[in-house]
Amino acid sequence: MTDLATYNFAYLDEQTKRMIRRAILKAIAIPGYQVPFASREMPMPYGWGTGGVQVTASILGPKDVLKVIDQGADDTTNAVSIRAFFQKVADVAVTTKTKEATIIQTRHRIPEEGLREGQTLVYQVPIPEPLRFLEPRETETRKMHALEEYGLMHVKLYEDIARNGHIATTYAYPVKVEGRYVMDPSPTPKFDNPKMHMSEALQLFGAGREKRIYAVPPYTEVVSLDFEDHPFEVQKFDKPCALCGAENVYLDEVVLDDKGGRMFACSDTDHCEDRRDCGHAGHMLARKEAAE
Amino acid sequence: MASQSQIFAGAFADPVFSAQSVFKSLMDGFARPGQIMRLEASSVPPSPMGAAAGAVALTLCDHDTPVWLTPALAKSAVPQWIAFHTGATVTDSKTDARFAIIEKGAPVPGFDQFSLGTQEYPDRSTTLVIEIEALSGGVPLTARGPGIKDDVTIAVRGLPEVFLDFWSANRAIFPRGIDLVLTSGDSVLCLPRTTRIARQEV
Amino acid sequence: MYVAVKGGEAAIANAHRLLADRRRGDRTLPSITIQQVVEQLGLAVDRVMAEASLYDRELAALAVRQARGDMIEAIFILRAYRTTLPRFGYSEPVDTATMKVERRVSATYKDLPGGQLLGPTFDYTHRLLDPSLIDDAAVEEPAVKEPGEHVMRVSDILDGEGLIEGDGRMPEGHVMGDLTREPMEFPMARDLRLQALARGDEGFLLALAYSTQRGYGRTHPFVGEVRIGEVEVELDLPELGFAVSLGVVRVTECQMVNQFMGSAKQPPQFTRGYGLVFGQSERKAMSMSLVDRALRTDEFSEDIVAPAQDQEFVISHADNVQATGFVEHLKLPHYVDFQAELDLVRRMRRDYDAARTGSQDGMKEAAE
């Protein structure tokens, strides 16, 4: 039988990395514009982070410290799987601490803790085209971006308001980057949108199946689309995190029993642990200690 | 005729990790325009190509990226060096070139002679790699734009007088336009098309 | 007391151990060898090679076994391996006119040079379950003609009369594309479309092809010819100045001949739909040729009125590895987004209930 290959550092061959690296540089030079790239088949399914994985594999070096989160948590199965992949193919140092990471690959969340200069946030993106659900044709949406013709998006948001009294988009909420391109922030909750604005970190977006890479450089204007009489606003939670007591963070709803019992806890698990280590406690945690 | 040793030598000692570190400097450079980034991996291309330009070529060029060279570079051993180490072909056409390399002191062609991309595909534009005298110590200019907190001063030395005119014309056609890597010695300073540059008020 | 779910790593490892166990099945039975898969499940191997676009029977068989017979999973495994292989160059186009045919049928002529050759086909078998296979009964030696006949292509017969369009010449100076190396772009030229179709999902193409027969983009097709056999693959080496043979591959080719009334640009003539697939797969090659023809609306000034004619629709959804990945990704956690939606639906529900109560109160007041 044919000898099976041994894989290059970070899995991708050098030619593929060069192609992706060139795309990343152009993406940074044109913030919010989706650069087409010849996405490769990865050893994990399309739709499971192949775009993010290709971007991370192309920027990753031996000095990097990698953190991978899915839904804000380091221990969700797909995050565990992607982290293990990079440990295997790049022998990279990994962490769950947001502070310690140089590269953070994420699906659906931006860490609560403010990112700093020198960090890179890599988003896994399923559908990079913010106009796709309004116009399925690539040939058409490309023209709209070229002409900066975003009327369709405003009409859609306005129809929401007419029907519901407010904009009914809760995640993948469209933003305008540096006053030019309308961009899909990936399916993060709109709660996270303000964190993209003037972020100190470099933000890279990889869509493997759709073969697009885009970027938001640090200190770049990212504005959520809205209307003067209906300004953009984020979700608010009634209660603090049940474990660490944090307010103004994004919470997961956890079903505790079949009698309607619910609790709300930080979606960003590292942030939550950090706070508990610093002595913060929510009501569920306090109860636990009291019981002991 | 170039000597064989000029052509076959001078590439990265460790291609995988050197390319990664040079790319990282370029990525950080484009993400933070105006910052001087010292490259950690070195190359020794044939004269008159500079070390940093050589490292950029080894990192980003391959047979998918036609490279335009100035007449002086085209006459040297550089075309063979690039072909041997990267697989990239040298093109006479500025608009076909994905990269253009200009050595220290050579006249800089107007930016609009290169590929500027299209309104639909603004990424299909040439990246210019220009070696200049020094990345600091020149007339201070103020740069603003994505990647720059408030503003930053750049003071490169050795760019032609017309640079600011070229650059503002390039800025005006956004999202189209070229992107620029200025090099000197083993360092680079990157200017994506989004950066706005102005003379400082006296 | 609430304890957060942990231990993703251990759970994954355990799941994979269980998968390995189920793959092996009853340990008292002998394990299937790769050679057995190659020899006895040859058409499964062919499909995996075709849609993974990698011609290696043994690796494809390994993938089939590793995937427990799940074809799309096997295709995926082989594709992911293919991606990592270095590229040495692009072969010369294979010349199917020199094919050593094992099967060749034409629906357009009763008899023709080389004749009709049925070959190893399911056609005309009665689909009755065969109990003799349960007991591994002895199988007769086949009666075959001299192997490796070269027979002329049916399309060349029509071409001789000038009644069919030329054989897929691309415009002067056209550089052959490769969609595994370059980003996709629409509109897409025919060379890239054919590559996408050749890698495309057999079931998807079958359904689209069927839809054209039922009037959704009708093309009036006749099977000019289906042929299966071995062709030589050659690589041109500029250093040597001639092409060297890399070996032979078995392929299925279908030339569909379609009626065409002519347009302002083109005289009335027959047109072609083309299908070429690794291994033996007539269903795929025929479907591909029907869809290829349906997609050529530009060339013949045809209106796009059906899904099979819409290249962005067809090409964007033909790849089963992409499709299965994205459909199945829905089982990944989405609870952050769902939380956002829950919040919104609860809010809208409150507004709705409030409005209803409000209007009932209003009615009551009006009645009083």
Tens of pLDDT, residue by residue over A145-198, are: 999 999 999 999 988 888 888 888 899 999 999 999 999 999 999 999 999 999
User: A94 near A66, Cβ under 8 Å?
Assistant: yes
Q: Is C2 inside any structural domain? A: no
| Domain coordinates in residue numbering, chain B | 4-186
Q: Does B175 contact A27 at a Cβ distance shorter than 8 Å?
A: no
Q: Does C181 contact A38 at a Cβ distance shorter than 8 Å?
A: yes
Runs of H (alpha helix) within C296-334: 311-317, 320-328
* Same domain, residue pair C289 and C150: yes
pLDDT at C3: 45
pTM value is 0.91
Q: Is C343 inside any structural domain? A: no
* Same domain, residue pair C190 and C215: yes
Candidate list A206, A244, A245, A282, residue with the active-site label: A244
How many CB atoms lie under 10 A from the CB of residue C352? 11
Q: Is C173 inside any structural domain? A: no
Q: Is C347 inside any structural domain? A: no
A79: exposed, middle or buried (C-beta count within 10 Å: 0-12, 13-18, 19+)?
buried
List all chains that touch chain B, counting a touch as 3 or more CB pairs closer than 8 Å.
Answer: A
Q: C202 — phi, psi (to 5°)?
A: -60, -45
Q: Does A219 contact B119 at a Cβ distance shorter than 8 Å?
A: no
Q: Does C337 contact A171 at a Cβ distance shorter than 8 Å?
A: yes
* Same domain, residue pair C50 and C115: no
* Same domain, residue pair C54 and C115: no
Q: Is C105 inside any structural domain? A: yes
Candidate list A49, A51, A52, A241, residue with the active-site label: A241
- Which of C62, C181, C336 is nearest residue A72 as measured by Cβ atoms? C336
Q: Is C37 inside any structural domain? A: yes
* Same domain, residue pair C56 and C183: no
* Same domain, residue pair C44 and C159: no
* Same domain, residue pair C65 and C105: no
- Which of B15, B127, B175 is nearest residue A30 as measured by Cβ atoms? B175
List all chains that touch chain C, counting a touch as 3 or more CB pairs closer than 8 Å.
Answer: A
- What is the distance between the alpha carbons of residues C100 and C138, in angstroms, rounded to a whole number? 28
What ipTM does the predicted assembly reach? 0.97
Contacts of C325 in chain A (CB under 8 A): 45-48, 50, 209
* Same domain, residue pair C207 and C303: yes
How many CB atoms lie under 10 A from the CB of residue C40? 12
Domain span holding position C163: 96-122+146-168+179-320
Contacts of B121 in chain A (CB under 8 A): 36
Closest CA to C315 of C205, C168, C211, C212: C205
CATH code given to domain B4-186: 3.40.50.11310
Runs of H (alpha helix) within A40-166: 50-59, 77-90, 138-147, 151-164
- Mapping DSSP onto H, E and C, the string for C119-188 reads CCCCCCCCCCCCHHHCCCCCCCCCCCCCCCECCCCHHHHHHHCCCECCCCCCCCCCCCCCCCCCCCCCCC
* Same domain, residue pair C71 and C202: no
**What are the tokens at A70?**
């899915």
Residues 6+ away with beta carbon under 8 Å from C354:
none
Closest CA to C272 of C157, C199, C166: C166
Q: Rounded to a whole number, what is the distance in Å from the CA of B171 to chain A's nearest CA?
A: 11
- Looking at residue A171, the DSSP 8-state letter turns out to be B
One digit per residue, the tens of pLDDT, for chain C of length 368 reads 344 445 678 889 999 999 999 999 999 999 999 999 999 999 999 999 999 999 999 999 999 999 999 999 999 999 999 988 877 788 999 999 999 999 999 999 888 888 899 999 999 999 999 998 998 889 999 988 775 567 888 888 888 888 898 887 888 888 889 998 888 889 999 999 999 999 999 999 999 999 999 999 998 999 999 999 999 999 988 778 888 999 999 999 999 999 887 777 778 899 999 999 999 999 999 999 999 999 999 998 899 999 999 999 999 999 999 999 999 999 998 989 999 999 889 988 998 899 888 777 666 666 66
Is C322 in the A-facing interface, judged by CB distances under 8 Å?
Answer: yes
How many CB atoms lie under 10 A from the CB of residue C131? 8
Indicate the number of domains in chain C.
Answer: 2
Q: Does C184 contact A45 at a Cβ distance shorter than 8 Å?
A: no
* Same domain, residue pair C117 and C242: yes
List domains and CATH numbers for chain A: 14-224 (3.40.50.11310), 251-291 (no CATH)
Chain C residues 171-230 with a CB less than 8 Å from chain A = 179-187
Is B178 in the A-facing interface, judged by CB distances under 8 Å?
Answer: no
* Same domain, residue pair C263 and C116: yes
Q: Does A79 contact C56 at a Cβ distance shorter than 8 Å?
A: no
* Same domain, residue pair C228 and C100: yes
